[in-house]
Structure 1
Amino acid sequence: MNRETPSSKFQDPAKLKTTADRSRRLALSLLTSATALVLAGCGPQPPASDSASTDAADFPSKTISVICPWSPGGGTDRMARFMADQLQSRLGKPVVVVNKTGGSGAIGHSEGARATPDGHTITMATFELSTMHWMGISELTWEDFQPLYLLNGDAAAFFVRKDSEIKSLEDLLARIKASPGQITMSGTASGGAWDLARAGFFLKAGLPVDSVIWSPTQGSAPAIVELLGGHIDVVCCSLPEAATQLESGQLRALAVMAPERVAGFADVPTVKELGIDWEAVGWRGLCLPKGTPEPIVGKLAAECRAIVEGEDYRTFMEKNRFAIQAGSPADFGEFMRRQDAQWKTVIEAAGFARNQP
């Protein structure tokens, strides 16, 4: 049975008009609301930095790790721990040093570069970041990081025993030229920081890189032992690494590869004073993963600057005989760019490049 009635199937025209008016008003209201939403989306937005600024205001929110690519107890580790203690005091959150060694520094640097870019992982980057990719050890470069702060640069120098017949840098060069392949020298492993420093110096001095015998060691300490024992003729390493033996009168420094004489070692001439335009430093600085928000970089850089300008930092550096070479994120980035170019030239000319076509 059809349950519809004439009254339900056919509506009064007056009622139909009222219903139509209501529908039009509803549609107009919905259209107005939608337009307002679209316009709101197109209107002025909060600055993109607002969110990042909030992140910086809340930073740090947890423990900060400082990755040290070198073993506990060494100079880089001591510097990492000093900076960690200082940052912890200033930021009010735990800051711990994590030693990630191996691969000639590649393991620690790589872990730091791969970390989440939120400011909670900092890498104590070192000189090797300028060389490892050119030598085929790693594909990692300084451009994989956000520079935070340059802290230190210790120049390479040449050392002999106090009783050596080599009395000056001029004597050393004369002997090398007169008897190529007779002088023995050490300071690091083959292709290490100080081997590259002396190779670059030789190139600038017009000497073949192989005009001395480089005796590989695991660092400056065993090389100095070899020198004192009469097993090699010359050591190339930084002034701080040989400071104890210099002060005790066991060694003599011939010249330093610095732009000017080094504080605390004012009696050691630079190679530039002797007419050879060459500088070589083993540097250290703090880096963040690439992509770390700028406000967080700025906050950490400001803290680092305050530390570097403080008396505790100067006391620490003087105690360890580390040379202060400080720089902002921008300065540090430019410094690493120049270092990268410098060591590319030396590594290729000296035959250490392992990834050349």
Structure 2
Amino acid sequence: MIFTIAALTACGGKAATDKSSASASKKVDFPKKAVTLIVPYAAGGGTDSTARALAKAAEKHLGQAVTVVNKTGGGGSVGMTEGANSKPDGYTVTMATVELTTLPHLGLSPITYENFKPVALVNYDPAAITVRADSQWKTMKEFLDYAKAHPGELKLGNSGTGAIWHLGAVTLEKGAGVKFNHIPFEGAGPAITALLGGHVDAVPVSAAEVKAQVDTGKLRALAINDSKPSAALPGVKTLKEETGLTVEVPGTWRGIAVPKDTPDEIVSILTDAFTKGASDQEFKDYMGKNGLGIEIKDAKSFGQHLKNNHDQFGKLIPELGLGKK
């Protein structure tokens, strides 16, 4: 399938009908071959599975194959750097994640969102404060009240110092006026295992990551740290609904981006294909089955989202003493 974008201009009056009239036509013959989608994390994870499902969904709208390639290392920095430095012709796109807006402030990435042009946001997953099902805290209010009365006592397991769920927990901590004891692990999985084993009191990881244990009755989600409930955990109220607090707690997200010098006409074609792919029922069914949220933003809205996240973490990370030395 060939996409053509044409811009036509013509002089007014009689000259407009003349063969020598001023008219121009700009065409973009794209895509003519397969598109490579760089995933900056290992196969089998949430970013990889989302990317593969999205690639399959977008192919029918692009008319060409979308091939997923995993480029791991540096907490996502290696793959995103390679994507930013690839040829700006639209044939290499990158699955950008929230770490694009955190790693630069941590001194762990040479690039920022400004090295890319946004194409589309397709996923967003909020944090869910989760405890064991047999814990003493039945509500988020009880949990925060206990934290206020016992500063620094509650142990919150996270996915690593400076990782998104650590930063999200600190944002909640500051907004609620409490103090947690943050315990880092090598990913959300080990943090959840520690919670199940009674080694930490709670985890502030994504709703999708605790869904299975909540569904089987091993864990209890106290609140969704977002402005709206999560489809992954139906019936679990938001932080504001539970406590009245309005705290902008960051969550994780995934989207498509291309090198900053990619022509706008090509970006437009990619945006159309990936947003349509993310809207396909098959993709929605896959994401729903796996507890992953869908949030679709076009290039312009995704660009603003990137800036907002970059600015937010630019203030938060230095406050944690985790910024560039």
Q: How does the TM-score come out when normalised to structure 2? A: 0.89
Alignment pair present for 1:148 and 2:138: no
Residue identity opposite 1:324 in structure 2: I
What is the rounded CA distance, in whole Å, between the counterparts of 1:148 and 1:267 in structure 2?
33
What is the rounded CA distance, in whole Å, between the counterparts of 1:147 and 1:252 in structure 2?
36
What is the rounded CA distance, in whole Å, between the counterparts of 2:52 and 2:119 in structure 1?
16
Residue identity opposite 2:39 in structure 1: C
CA deviations on 1:308-351 (whole Å, 9 max, x unpaired) are 22211211221111111100000100111111112222212222
What is the rounded CA distance, in whole Å, between the counterparts of 1:300 and 1:138 in structure 2?
26
Q: CA deviation at 1:155?
A: 0.3
Kept after mapping to 1: 8 A contact 2:57/2:283: no
Match of 2:204 among 222, 229, 236: 236
| 1:264-275 equivalences in 2 (<5 Å) | 264-273=232-241, 274-275=243-244
What is the rounded CA distance, in whole Å, between the counterparts of 2:146 and 2:62 in structure 1?
55
Q: Which moved more, 1:281-290 or 1:304-313?
A: 304-313
| 1:23-34 equivalences in 2 (<5 Å) | none
Q: CA deviation at 1:264?
A: 4.3
Match of 1:226 among 194, 217, 228: 194
Shift of the 103–46 alpha-carbon distance from structure 1 to 2, 3 Å rule, reads: farther
| 1:206-285 equivalences in 2 (<5 Å) | 206-207=177-178, 211-273=179-241, 274-278=243-247, 279-285=249-255
What is the rounded CA distance, in whole Å, between the counterparts of 2:322 and 2:185 in structure 1?
17
What is the rounded CA distance, in whole Å, between the counterparts of 2:114 and 2:244 in structure 1?
34
Q: CA deviation at 1:354?
A: 2.1
Question: Greater Rg, structure 1 or structure 2?
Answer: 1
Q: CA deviation at 1:63?
A: 2.6
- Percent identical among aligned pairs is 37
Match of 1:173 among 144, 154, 167: 144
SS of match in other structure, 2:203? strand
Q: CA deviation at 1:251?
A: 0.4
Aligned equivalent of 1:195: 166
Task: Name the structure where helix makes up a greater proportion of residues.
Answer: 1
CA deviations on 1:9-29 (whole Å, 9 max, x unpaired) are xxxxxxxxxxxxxxxxxxxxx
SS of match in other structure, 1:235? coil
Alignment pair present for 1:86 and 2:57: yes
Q: CA deviation at 1:89?
A: 3.4
What is the rounded CA distance, in whole Å, between the counterparts of 1:351 and 1:171 in structure 2?
30
CA deviations on 1:249-304 (whole Å, 9 max, x unpaired) are 00001111111122242321211221222232201000011111111111111111
Q: Which moved more, 1:87-96 or 1:332-341?
A: 87-96
Stretches of structure 2 that go unaligned for 5 or more consecutive residues are 1-19
| 1:1-357 equivalences in 2 (<5 Å) | 47=24, 50=26, 53=27, 56-57=28-29, 59-207=30-178, 211-273=179-241, 274-278=243-247, 279-355=249-325
How many residues end up aligned between the 2 structures? Answer: 304
Q: How does the TM-score come out when normalised to structure 1? A: 0.81
Kept after mapping to 1: 8 A contact 2:278/2:296: yes
Shift of the 45–346 alpha-carbon distance from structure 1 to 2, 3 Å rule, reads: farther
CA deviations on 1:49-103 (whole Å, 9 max, x unpaired) are 72xx2xx32x223331100011100110001111222233333333211111111
Q: CA deviation at 1:124?
A: 0.3
Q: CA RMSD in A?
A: 1.8
Q: Which moved more, 1:326-335 or 1:78-87?
A: 78-87
CA deviations on 1:126-148 (whole Å, 9 max, x unpaired) are 01011111111113111110100
